[in-house]
Chains A and B, each alone.
Chain A
Amino acid sequence: NAGVTQTPKFQVLKTGQSMTLQCAQDMNHEYMSWYRQDPGMGLRLIHYSVGAGITDQGEVPNGYNVSRSTTEDFPLRLLSAAPSQTSVYFCASSILDRGYGYTFGSGTRLTVV
């Protein structure tokens, strides 16, 4: 019962580098999403997906790309990292109508220097 698995847990990047944050769930959830959490800002939605092949932008999508080739995986790509992207990133998924709560991954703490 792995739930939602995020990797890596910690990452340090240099400005301009690219990387992919991985998110996988084994619960056959249709809905998956990425949030970032910054001090005093709460959780802000970056991108979400309602099923394989379908993605959409959230509140703060700039600088991030996503794809959903399978139900299980929803990677988040940083194309050219910036210090403003230093944050904690959470992946979350839901099987129900997504207004009824999520299962969260354990988070990725990203620092861009």
Chain B
Amino acid sequence: EDKVVQSPLSLVVHEGDTVTLNCSYEVTNFRSLLWYKQEKKAPTFLFMLTSSGIEKKSGRLSSILDKKELFSILNITATQTGDSAVYLCAGGGADGLTFGKGTHLIIQP
């Protein structure tokens, strides 16, 4: 059975801090690792990672995949209150996406 585990499940930091969200996966016929941001509505796509060691960046967000250790991290630098959300990690396999439970990130002013 495919499994995706995210940590921490919740995190409270102050504006300006840097955060690292973790995701480990066990996915049969692995295709990709995806990160989504969810703010009280549908998840919105952040990154898709398919190759180890290649960092993907979008503004203050970045992510990298380690296919040997079956692990990915999502970094957010200089956090802002608008970064408050649930961040979902999903492993893509032959039968579709398996989601982790998410990390609930709260950025305090």
Contact = CB atoms under 8 A, between A and B. Distances in A.
Interface of A: 31, 33, 35, 40-45, 48, 90, 94, 97-102, 104-107
Contact of B88 (A43, A48, A100): A43
Interface residues of B, number: 23
Interface string B89-107: 0101111110111100000
A45 B96 CA distance: 10
26 contacts: A33-B96, A40-B9, A42-B101, A42-B102, A43-B43, A43-B88, A44-B99, A45-B96, A48-B96, A90-B43, A94-B96, A98-B92, A98-B95, A98-B96, A99-B30, A99-B31, A99-B92, A99-B93, A99-B96, A99-B97, A100-B48, A100-B92, A101-B90, A101-B92, A101-B97, A104-B42
A99 B29 CA distance: 9
